[in-house]
C-alpha cells in the first residue's frame, strides 16, 4: 500500500536582489541510485536485503522498482553524532499546567476554557513529541471538517495533517509577530506552548525536527518520508535567519530559481515524481511567472500489512454508497487476530489493521450509512485515544474494499475559515523571511493512496465498549467509512480519509 502527499504553498513577492541561496543545479542532481528497501522487523543490515524481497513487497507491478536512494533519506546518524538533535528533550515528560478545579471538562466544548482543560488532560503522562502530535491531530480533524463542508457528500477525501503542519510550521519561521500569532493559534501551537513554562515558540520547531527524525527512518519496517523544498526567485533576498532555521529545523535549503524558465517546471516535476516513486506525476501544471517564493512538502508512505490479504480470496461484492445505491467493488478478505472496539456513543465500530512496524490503519465504520456525519463531526484525539485503549483482540473475518484515491485541494479558503486570514492578503507579515512584501496566493494539497492485498503505498463523554466475546467476528466494510493512519510511537496522525465510493478515485 502506498500513500503520497504533496503540499505546495506558494507566495508572491515584489522583486529585487539575490542573497546566498543554494543554486538550483545541485538541488535537482544527485548521486547514482543505491538500492534499498523495506525490511522485516528486527532486520538490522539494510544492505543485506536481497532484491527479491523488494520485488515481493512492491505493491504493484505497474511501477518499475528503481530502488531507494541515499538522498531520499536524511543522515540522522551524522546529525546525532554532531549532538544537535535535542533527542532527550523531545522524550521528556515534564510538568504542565493543570485544569482549574472549577472547570467542568464534560460540559459543552465550545467554551475555550473547557477545550483547553480537555487538551491539558490529554497531555498528562505524554512526551513533548506526543503532545505536539495531539495538537497536530486536533488541527487535522478540524481541517478535515472544514474541507468536508466544501465537497459533496458523495466525494472521497484524503488529507495528510502531518505534512500540512510541517509545512505551516516552516512558514511560521518567516512570519512577523501578528501573522506568527495567527499561525500558532490556528494550528494549536499556541495551546502547546502555553501548556508549560518549559516551552517557547522554538520548542515547536525543535519538535518538528525531532518528529522528522522519529518518523522518517530507514529501519522501521515501512517507508515514510517527508521532504521540504523552498524555491525563491532569483534577485530576491532572503534573510539569513530564515534560511538557517529552515535548514536546521526542517532540512530545507532555499533554492534560487527562475520561475519564468520552462525548465524549472520540468525539473521540479521530475524531482517530485522521483521522490514519490512515480505515483504523483506533474503536480505543478503551471507556475505563475510572477511567483517569487514557493514552498513544497512531500509526504510518502509505503507499508505492508502484517497479515496480507490472500489475493485468491478477493471477490466482487456490493458496496452500499447510500441506502438506495450500491456499486460492485473488489472486496479483500482475510481471517486472523485483529484488534477492534465498539463506540456506542458514536454508534460505530473500529478495526485496527497493522502494518509491519509500529504504524497502522484504523477503520471507523458507522453502523448506519447515515451515521457518517455524526462520526465526522465528533472525531477528535480524545475519541481516538479511547478507541486505542479499549480495543480487544479476537479472531475475526475482515472484508475490506480495495481502493485508490487521488485528491487535490486548494486549502486557502479552509485555512481562512480556521483563522488564517492575514497571510493570504496584504496584511500578512513575512518580515522574518524577507524584506520584500509577501502575500501567499496559492496553497495546494494533493495526494494519492492505494490500498490492496499487500498493504498501503501512501470527547470525555464517549463510551467505548468491548466487542462481543464470540470466537469469530465478521468486520464487513461494505458502506462509507473513515480511515486514519497512525504512527503509534509518536501518536502521529499521518493521514485521514473518507471512502464513500471505492470505485472512484
- Backbone dihedral angles phi then psi of residue 352, each to the nearest 5 degrees: -105, 120
481: helix, strand or coil? strand
Taking alpha carbons only, the member of 441, 446, 431 closest to residue 282 is: 446
Taking alpha carbons only, the member of 399, 420, 301 closest to residue 353 is: 399
Taking alpha carbons only, the member of 25, 33, 32, 19 closest to residue 263 is: 25
The CA–CA distances, whole Å, from 243 to 10, 72, 294, 432 equal 17, 21, 14, 10
Looking at residue 318, what is its pLDDT?
A: 94
Looking at residue 171, what is its pLDDT?
A: 87
Residue 459 CB burial class (10 angstroms; 0-12, 13-18, ≥19): middle
Q: Is-contact 483 353, C-beta < 8 A?
A: no
* The C-alpha cell that represents 139 in the structure block: 488541527
495: helix, strand or coil? strand
Taking alpha carbons only, the member of 281, 176, 164 closest to residue 226 is: 164
Rounded Cα gap, residues 242 and 252, in angstroms: 10
Percent of the chain that is helix, strand, coil (3-state, to 5)? 30, 30, 40
417: DSSP letter: H
Looking at residue 284, what is its pLDDT?
A: 77
Distance of CA 296 to the CA centre of its chain: 14
Looking at residue 303, what is its pLDDT?
A: 83
Average pLDDT, the chain: 75
Mean pLDDT per 10-residue section of the chain, whose length is 505 residues: 51 39 48 34 38 35 33 49 51 64 53 71 83 92 93 89 89 90 92 85 91 72 77 83 90 84 85 75 74 77 86 91 91 90 91 89 93 92 91 87 84 87 80 80 77 62 23 78 90 91 85
Q: Is-contact 496 141, C-beta < 8 A?
A: yes
Neighbouring residues of 244: CB distance < 8 A, sequence distance ≥ 6: none
Could you tell me the residue ranges of all domains in the chain? 311-405+459-499
Q: Is-contact 471 464, C-beta < 8 A?
A: no
Characterize 24-41 residue by residue with b for buried, 16 or more Cβ atoms within 10 angstroms of its Cβ, and e for exposed. Answer: beebeeeeeeeebbbbee
Looking at residue 376, what is its pLDDT?
A: 94
Q: What is the DSSP string of 128-176?
A: HHHHHHHHHHHHHHHHHHHHHTTS-TT--EEE-HHHHHHHHHHHHHT--
Rounded Cα gap, residues 379 and 444, in angstroms: 25
* The C-alpha cell that represents 406 in the structure block: 487521488
Looking at residue 396, what is its pLDDT?
A: 84
Is the backbone of residue 278 left (phi > 0), alpha (psi -120 to 50) or beta? left
Q: Which class is 311-405+459-499 in CATH? A: mainly beta
Residue 327 CB burial class (10 angstroms; 0-12, 13-18, ≥19): middle
Q: What is the DSSP string of 65-129?
A: P----GGGS--HHHHHHTT-S-HHHHH---------TT--TTS-TTSHHHHHHHHHHHHTT--HH
pTM for this prediction: 0.80
| Residues linked to residue 485 through DSSP beta bridges, in sequence order | 361, 495
Could you tell me where the beta strands, DSSP code E, fall in 344-416?
348-354, 359-366, 392-401, 403-410
Amino acid at each position: 500500500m502506498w500513500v503520497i502527499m504533496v503540499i505546495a504553498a506558494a507566495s508572491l513577492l515584489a522583486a529585487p536582489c539575490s542573497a546566498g541561496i543554494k543554486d538550483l543545479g545541485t538541488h535537482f542532481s544527485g548521486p547514482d541510485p543505491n538500492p534499498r528497501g523495506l525490511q522485516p522487523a528486527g532486520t538490522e543490515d539494510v544492505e543485506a536485503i536481497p532484491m527479491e524481497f523488494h520485488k515481493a513487497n512492491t505493491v504493484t507491478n505497474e511501477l518499475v522498482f528503481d530502488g531507494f536512494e541515499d538522498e531520499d533519506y536524511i543522515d540522522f546518524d551524522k546529525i546525532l553524532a554532531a549532538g544537535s538533535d535535542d533527542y532527550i528533550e523531545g522524550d521528556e515528560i515534564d510538568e504542565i499546567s493543570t485544569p482549574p478545579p472549577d472547570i467542568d471538562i464534560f460540559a459543552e466544548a465550545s467554551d475555550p476554557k473547557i477545550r483547553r482543560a480537555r487538551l491539558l488532560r490529554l497531555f498528562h503522562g505524554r512526551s513533548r513529541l506526543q503532545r505536539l502530535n495531539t495538537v497536530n491531530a486536533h488541527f487535522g480533524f478540524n481541517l478535515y471538517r472544514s474541507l468536508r463542508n466544501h465537497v459533496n457528500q458523495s466525494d472521497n477525501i484524503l488529507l495528510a495533517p502531518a505534512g500540512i503542519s510541517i509545512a505551516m510550521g516552516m512558514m511560521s519561521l518567516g512570519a512577523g509577530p501578528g501573522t506568527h500569532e495567527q499561525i500558532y493559534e490556528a494550528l494549536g501551537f499556541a495551546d502547546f506552548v502555553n501548556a508549560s513554562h518549559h516551552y517557547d515558540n522554538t520548542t515547536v520547531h525543535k519538535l518538528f525536527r525531532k518528529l522528522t527524525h522519529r518518523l522518517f527512518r530507514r529501519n522501521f519496517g515501512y517507508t515514510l518520508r517527508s521532504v521540504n523544498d523552498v524555491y525563491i526567485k532569483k534577485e530576491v533576498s532572503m534573510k539569513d535567519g530564515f534560511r538557517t532555521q529552515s535548514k536546521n529545523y526542517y532540512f530545507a535549503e532555499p533554492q534560487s530559481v527562475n520561475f519564468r524558465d520552462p525548465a524549472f517546471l520540468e525539473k521540479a516535476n521530475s524531482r517530485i515524481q522521483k521522490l514519490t516513486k512515480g505515483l504523483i506525476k506533474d503536480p505543478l501544471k503551471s507556475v505563475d511567472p510572477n511567483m517569487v517564493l514557493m514552498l513544497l512538502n512531500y509526504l510518502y508512505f509505503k507499508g505492508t500489512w502484517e497479515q496480507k490479504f490472500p489475493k485468491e480470496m478477493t471477490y466482487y461484492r456490493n458496496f452500499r454508497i447510500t441506502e438506495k445505491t450500491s456499486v460492485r467493488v473488489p472486496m479483500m478478505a482475510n481471517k486472523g487476530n485483529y484488534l477492534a472496539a465498539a463506540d456506542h456513543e458514536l454508534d460505530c465500530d473500529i478495526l485496527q489493521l497493522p502494518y509491519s512496524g509500529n504504524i497502522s490503519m484504523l477503520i471507523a465504520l458507522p453502523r448506519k450509512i447515515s451515521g457518517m456525519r455524526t462520526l465526522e463531526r465528533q472525531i477528535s484525539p480524545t475519541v481516538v485515544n479511547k478507541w486505542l485503549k479499549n480495543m480487544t483482540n479476537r479472531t475475526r473475518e475482515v472484508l475490506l474494499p480495495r481502493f485508490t484515491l487521488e485528491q487535490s485541494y486548494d486549502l486557502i479558503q479552509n485555512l481562512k475559515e480556521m483563522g488564517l486570514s492575514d497571510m493570504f492578503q496584504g496584511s500578512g507579515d513575512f518580515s522574518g523571511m524577507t524584506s520584500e512584501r509577501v502575500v501567499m496566493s496559492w496553497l495546494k494539497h494533493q495526494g494519492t493512496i492505494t490500498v490492496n492485498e499487500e498493504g498501503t503505498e501512501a470527547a470525555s463523554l464517549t463510551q467505548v465498549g468491548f466487542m462481543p466475546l464470540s470466537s469469530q467476528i465478521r468486520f464487513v466494510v461494505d458502506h462509507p467509512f473513515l480511515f486514519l493512519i497512525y504512527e503509534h510511537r509518536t501518536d502521529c496522525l499521518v493521514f485521514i480519509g473518507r471512502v464513500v465510493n471505492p470505485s472512484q478515485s
